[in-house]
Amino acid sequence: GEVEARVKAAYEKLQEVNKDINAVVTFVDPSEQLEELKKIDEHAPMYGLPIVLKDNVNTKGIRTTASSRILDNYIPVYDAHIVDKLKQAGAVVIAKTSMDELGMGGTNKNAYTGSVHNPWNPARISGGSSGGSAAAVASGAVSFAIGTDTGDSIRKPAAFNGVVGVKPTYGRISRYGIIPYASSLDHVGYFTTSVKDACVALEVLAGRDDRDMTSSLREVEAYHANVTSDLHGKRIALLENVQEEVRPEIKENMDQLVKKLEERGAIVDTVRMNDQLMEALLPVYYIIANAEATANHSNLDGIRFGMREDGESVEDVMIHSRTKGFSSYVRKRFVIGSYSLYAENQEKVFRKAQKIRRLIVNELAAVLEQYDAVLASASGDIAPLSEASHDASLHTSSIVAENYMVLGNFSGYPSISVPSGFVEGMPIGVNLTTKAFDEQTMFNIALAIE
C-alpha cells in the first residue's frame, strides 16, 4: 500500500544519493520490517517512517561495524533498546550509516568505508562523527536518523548539514546496545528536519530501561503537546567566548537571531565564561575521552570480539588483529588513553582532568542558575572543504568556537543544534544548552529560532 511505496521510494532515493554522499555502510532491505509493521497500530508516532541508524547501534542479524575494519564482520545477536523503541513506534530501518571510526573524529573522513560528502556540496565534509546520519537527512532521503554524541558528534554535523540535531540529557535515552566510545560522555540522540519532529522523537526514544543502569527513572514529558515559541520570562545567555571567534557573516546571523528571540519575549544577555576553563575544554576532553575509549575497546582484540589475524601466540593474535583492525588515528588515541591510565600517570593526568571537568561543569551550572539557556553559534565557519581538513579533527584557530559543545557532554545537559541560515550557499546553525532534563525549554527556544 501507501506506506510500502513510501518506504521503498526512500530506500531507492537513498541508494541514488549515496553515490554522491557515501553516507551508508549497509543498506537494510525493508521488506521483512514492512511485514512486521502490519502488527503495529497505524496511529503509532512513526508509523511507516523510513529511518537510518548510525552504524554503532546494534541491530540483530544486521552487520554493525562502527565504521571500523575490526568490526567488519560483526553481526549482533540482539537489538539496541532504541531499535526496539523505534520499531514499536512504527519506524522502518533502511540503512546503517557511516561514522568516524568508533566515533573518534569530527569530519567523517576517518571511516573504514571512506569520507562522507556533504549533500549541499560534495567537496565539503559532512562533519562527524555522526556524519552519515546527518547527510542522509540533509539529502532528503529520510527525515529521521539516529546519531550518538560524545563531544559534539550530533550537533556539529547537524549544523554543517542544515538539519536539527538533538543530544538530550545524559540518561534520558538508554544506551543499551550502543557500541560505546567514552561512557561518561556518550549520549544517544538524533537528527530531524524540524523542531516539532524532534519533540515527537524524544517521546518515542526516552525513558527508563533496566538494561542501562545510567538511564533515568524520570517520567518522559509531552514535549510536542507543550512546545511553544512564546519566550516571555525566558533568559538566554549568549556565549561571548564563542561569538568572538566566529566569522563576520555568522556573527551577523546571530545578531539577527537575537533580535528575533527578543521579539518573542526573551531577554538575551552576553555572558563570558572563565577563559582558562574554556581553553581547558579540549585537552580535558581528550584525556577523558581517550582514556575511557581505551578501556572500552580493550575487548576488540580478535579473541573476544573483532576480526582475527593469525599469530604465533595469543598476544601475537591480539597485536596483529588490533594493528590491522584499527586505523593509525584510532591507535594513536589508544596510546594517549593508555598513557593517562598508566598507574604512575593516573593522578597527575586522568584524575586531574576529571577535577577540571568538575570545575567546568560548575561554571556552566552557575550560568544556568541565572539563565534558562546558553546560546552560541554551532561553528565558527561553514563545513570545511574535504581536502583542507585533517583526517579526523577540525584544524582551526577557533579553538573555543569549534570545541565548546563538549560542555554538554561534560555536564550531561541537553543540547540542540538548529539551522539558522546560509553562508556561501552552505547551511549554518546555532546551539542551545539548557538545565538537566529541561528539554522542554530547549525545544521551545529552538522552535522560536527555526
Does the footprint of ligand GLN cover residue 105 (CB under 6 A)? yes
Binding part of the chain for ligand GLN, among 14-22, 82-90, 149-157, 206-214 by CB under 6 A, reads: 149-157
Does the footprint of ligand GLN cover residue 415 (CB under 6 A)? no
Q: What cell numbers appear for 29 in the block?
A: 532491505
C-alpha span between 122 and 115 (Å, rounded): 10
C-alpha span between 119 and 259 (Å, rounded): 30
Does the footprint of ligand GLN cover residue 209 (CB under 6 A)? no
Pairing of the two strands 144-149 and 267-271: unpaired
Pairing of the two strands 164-167 and 187-192: antiparallel
Does the footprint of ligand GLN cover residue 380 (CB under 6 A)? no
Q: How far is the CB of 1 from ligand GLN (least distance, A)?
A: 39
C-alpha span between 428 and 29 (Å, rounded): 33
Identify which of residues 103 and 306 has a Cβ nearer to ligand GLN in the complex.
Answer: 103
The residue count for binding ligand GLN (CB under 6 A) is: 12
Does the footprint of ligand GLN cover residue 181 (CB under 6 A)? yes
Q: Which amino acid is at 371?
A: Y
Question: Of 129, 139, 379, 393, which residue is the catalytic one?
Answer: 129
Does the footprint of ligand GLN cover residue 22 (CB under 6 A)? no
Does the footprint of ligand GLN cover residue 153 (CB under 6 A)? yes
Does the footprint of ligand GLN cover residue 106 (CB under 6 A)? yes
Identify which of residues 394 and 432 has a Cβ nearer to ligand GLN in the complex.
Answer: 394
Which one, of 146, 166, 163, 9, lies nearest residue 64 by Cα? Answer: 146
Identify which of residues 49 and 281 has a Cβ nearer to ligand GLN in the complex.
Answer: 281
Is the distance from CB of 175 to CB of 188 less than 8 angstroms?
yes
Q: How would you label 265-296 residue by residue, b for 16+ Cβ within 10 Å and e otherwise?
A: ebebeebebeeebbebbbebbbbbbbbbbbbb
Q: How far is the CB of 102 from ligand GLN (least distance, A)?
A: 9
Identify which of residues 153 and 434 has a Cβ nearer to ligand GLN in the complex.
Answer: 153
Number of helical (H) and strand (E) elements in the chain, helices listed first: 17, 13
- Per-residue contact track with ligand GLN, 263 to 302, x per CB under 6 A? --------------------------x-------------
> SS3 for 378?
coil
Is the distance from CB of 350 to CB of 340 less than 8 angstroms?
yes
Does the footprint of ligand GLN cover residue 438 (CB under 6 A)? no
Does the footprint of ligand GLN cover residue 231 (CB under 6 A)? no
> Active-site residue 129, yes or no?
yes
Q: How far is the CB of 167 from ligand GLN (least distance, A)?
A: 9
> Active-site residue 54, yes or no?
yes
C-alpha span between 159 and 152 (Å, rounded): 11
C-alpha span between 136 and 157 (Å, rounded): 11
Identify which of residues 238 and 356 has a Cβ nearer to ligand GLN in the complex.
Answer: 356
Measured in degrees and rounded to the nearest 5, phi and psi for residue 162 equal 70, 35
Question: Of 98, 139, 153, 379, which residue is the catalytic one?
Answer: 153
Which of residues 150, 243, 389, 415 is near ligand GLN by CB under 6 A? 150
Which of residues 152, 197, 372, 439 is near ligand GLN by CB under 6 A? 152
Is the distance from CB of 103 to CB of 178 less than 8 angstroms?
no
Does the footprint of ligand GLN cover residue 326 (CB under 6 A)? no
C-alpha span between 138 and 140 (Å, rounded): 5
- Per-residue contact track with ligand GLN, 109 to 148, x per CB under 6 A? --------------------x-------------------
Task: Report CA-CA distances (Å) from 80 to 45, 60, 120, 346.
Answer: 19, 8, 31, 33
Binding part of the chain for ligand GLN, among 63-71, 101-109, 137-145, 247-255 by CB under 6 A, reads: 101-109
Q: What cell numbers appear for 259 in the block?
A: 533580535
Residues recognised as catalytic = 54, 129, 153
List of residues contacting ligand GLN (CB under 6 A)? 103-106, 129, 149-153, 181, 289
